[in-house]
A and B are shown apart, each in its own frame.
Chain A
Amino acid sequence: MTNSLSHRSGAQARAPWLTLQRRDAIEGWLFVSPTLLGFLIFFLGPLIAIFIYAMSDWNFLSGEATFVGLANFEDALLANPDFWLVLRNSAVFALGLVPLNVALALFLAVALSRPFRGVIVFRTIFFAPVITSAIAWAIVWKFLLQGEGGPINQMLAMIGITGPNWLREPNWAMAAVIVTRVIKMVGLNMILYIAALQAIPRDYDEAAGLEGASRWQIFRLITWPLLGPTTLVIVILTTIGSFKVFDHIYQMTGGGPENGTLVLAFYIYQQGFQFFDIGYASALAIIMFVIVTILTLIQVSLRRKDDA
């Protein structure tokens, strides 16, 4: 390459191969390479693999794999009543969990965002289940919710109520799983709300207070709209979280009774690792991938708008 600019007599007018830009690029790729390599091997590769698996009829035990195209999806969507039950359960779980969680989190955050004596104690209590293992939490609640002789039913009996056999009746089991999950996780949303509330300048409600607004009016007309972006993010994160629930259900109900708490994450595990129907389980995994990706995209684009 000759130096076409040639406004210098310089012998070193030619740029070296290792330009500063190239140096940056090399360093950048070097720094991200462990993450990137791991991502390719343990995430992107497997992601592509489930699309291939999903188009085969592969039972892990018999070891036979044949190409079946979209049959697994047809299986899921048309032929298999379990699938619709699972989808319904997942929806019920999300629709029960998300509003309850978000509403309770907001209530707690509003109550605990201003300092008063004991506020730290309450915050500590409401957050404690978040750091507790889901298995441990589920073990304890399963114990508390025993039908006969379970502590909760015994206490209900003392005030004259005959409690149901919580985890043995499909509807009660679903309700129990939702409520215990909300208690476990609400602390996380509570602190996100507290952070958002504390970022709101106090001038607003002081100004509104001077204009004679009641506390409820201040909340409804000022605080709640200002919390809008936070609420959106929390709702989406909590919805995604509800699709991830596996260990809680594994330990508390095992998907029962009568598949009453069989949700998608558990169903994938069951089909893949208990019934070894790899093709079908992979088709289910793709459905989960699509759901979570859509929710993630919504969340990311909301955040973009937020930043701008």
Chain B
Amino acid sequence: MTRASWNRLAWIMALTLLALPFVFPFLWMVSAGFKSVTEIFGAPNLIPRVWRYENFAEVFTYQPFARQYFNSLYIAGVVTILTLLISSLAGYALARIRFVGAGLIMLLLVTALMMPDEVTIIPNFFFIRWLGLVDTHWPLILLPVFGAQGVVATFLMRQYFLSLPKELEEAAKMDGLSRFGIWWKIAIPMSRPALAAVAIITFLNSWNLFLEPLIFLSSLEKFTLPLALSNFNDSYGLPLWNLQLAATTLAVIPVLIIYLIAQRQIVESFALSGVKG
């Protein structure tokens, strides 16, 4: 072999070695999900000696896991649709309409851009409690839509609208479309990449949301997935490892599969939000 190809081989070996801690947890999670409690802490082996499929059934009897799964799905769906709508409206106005106050609004929104939810969570808790919405899904929808994540989406949409050719919208204006019509019929159809990016990031963010469910939810059947996952404990508060890992497998694998299918689109969405957000 030539020196160049030895060189390449060395690089690939190094990368493979580095990839181990990225892949290993997923593999071990699935493997342990199929093991019995005794085997889990036995000699380390990736392929279970005894496949214990019952773990996956017990996940659903220990907690209303199907219901919790559904909660996560529908909440993420609602949050995504609302965010798309609201952020693309605001993003459009900030990109295209000249109006007094636009600069001030941008400045205000920037302060929320990166703010952790922990900063405002205490007053928000009291406000939600005052509204009587504790232990409902409302705060899990309202806080992300109007919080930092919504602001990131607004800026992302604004940046994208700015990159679109202005003349198209002006032609539509002369053709008699209202501002709302221009937004809906011209700007939105041309913004698929940005909308997709916002949708992907928003959905994942809601899907993985933890602080708000932890604080607002108390009934098991209202839990979302991350909260449910952290809840597989015995009466001493110690983890029921095999159930917890089986449930985690159920929660993580579908997302991973979608990720493998739409890998490029998803990675690009994050790149877009990182650069522009």
Residues of A within 8 A of B (CB): 24-25, 27-32, 34-36, 38-39, 41-47, 49-50, 53, 108, 111-112, 116, 118, 120, 122-137, 139-144, 146, 148-151, 154-155, 158, 183, 188, 191-192, 194-195, 237, 240, 243-244, 246-247, 250-251, 264-265, 268-269, 272-273, 278, 281-282, 285, 288-289, 292-293, 295-296, 299-300
- List chain B residues, Cβ under 8 A from A126: 19, 22
B266 within 8 A of A: yes
Q: Offer 14 A-B interface pairs, CB within 8 angstroms, sorted by A.
A: A24-B97, A24-B98, A24-B99, A45-B123, A50-B119, A108-B15, A122-B15, A127-B267, A134-B210, A191-B267, A192-B274, A244-B118, A246-B210, A292-B115
- List chain B residues, Cβ under 8 A from A293: 111, 115
Tell me whether A300 and B267 are in contact in the complex, defined as CB-CB below 8 angstroms, given that A32-B94, A122-B19 are known contacts: no
B28 adjacent to A140 (CB under 8 Å): yes
CA distance A122 to B32 in the complex (A): 25
- List chain A residues, Cβ under 8 A from B19: 122, 125-126
Q: How many cross-chain pairs have Cβ atoms below 8 Å apart between A and B?
A: 267
- List chain A residues, Cβ under 8 A from B244: 139, 143
B132 within 8 A of A: no
- List chain B residues, Cβ under 8 A from A273: 125, 215
Tell me whether A44 and B122 are in contact in the complex, defined as CB-CB below 8 angstroms, given that A122-B19, A192-B271 are known contacts: no
Interface centre among A140, A188, A272, A289 (most CB of B within 10 A): A140
Chain A: minimal CB distance from B212 (Å): 11
- List chain B residues, Cβ under 8 A from A36: 90, 105
B154 adjacent to A125 (CB under 8 Å): no
**Chain A residue with minimal CB distance to B225?**
A133
What 11 new A-B contacts, CB under 8 Å, besides A125-B19, A139-B244, A141-B25? A39-B112, A47-B120, A49-B122, A131-B256, A135-B226, A135-B230, A144-B25, A188-B274, A195-B275, A293-B111, A293-B115
Please, what's the 1-or-0 string for B21-35, where 1 marks a CB less than 8 Å from any CB in chain A? Answer: 111111011001000
**Chain A residue with minimal CB distance to B139?**
A42
Please, what's the 1-or-0 string for B135-147, where 1 marks a CB less than 8 Å from any CB in chain A? Answer: 0000000110111
A43 adjacent to B44 (CB under 8 Å): no
B207 within 8 A of A: yes
Chain A: minimal CB distance from B81 (Å): 13
A296 adjacent to B215 (CB under 8 Å): no
CA distance A4 to B128 in the complex (A): 56
Chain A: minimal CB distance from B186 (Å): 15
B119 adjacent to A131 (CB under 8 Å): no
Secondary structure of the A contact surface, majority rule: helix
A191 adjacent to B271 (CB under 8 Å): yes
B108 adjacent to A39 (CB under 8 Å): yes
B160 within 8 A of A: no
A42 adjacent to B115 (CB under 8 Å): no
Chain A: minimal CB distance from B50 (Å): 17
- List chain A residues, Cβ under 8 A from B263: 120, 124
Chain A: minimal CB distance from B157 (Å): 10
> Of B89, B114, B146, B271, which contacts A31 at CB under 8 A?
B89
A49 adjacent to B123 (CB under 8 Å): yes
Please, what's the 1-or-0 string for B98-126, where 1 marks a CB less than 8 Å from any CB in chain A? Answer: 11111001001111111110111111111
B179 adjacent to A27 (CB under 8 Å): yes
B51 within 8 A of A: no
A183 adjacent to B226 (CB under 8 Å): no
Interface centre among A25, A35, A247 (most CB of B within 10 A): A35
CA distance A45 to B124 in the complex (A): 9
CA distance A117 to B230 in the complex (A): 39
CA distance A51 to B22 in the complex (A): 42
B41 within 8 A of A: yes
A288 adjacent to B229 (CB under 8 Å): no
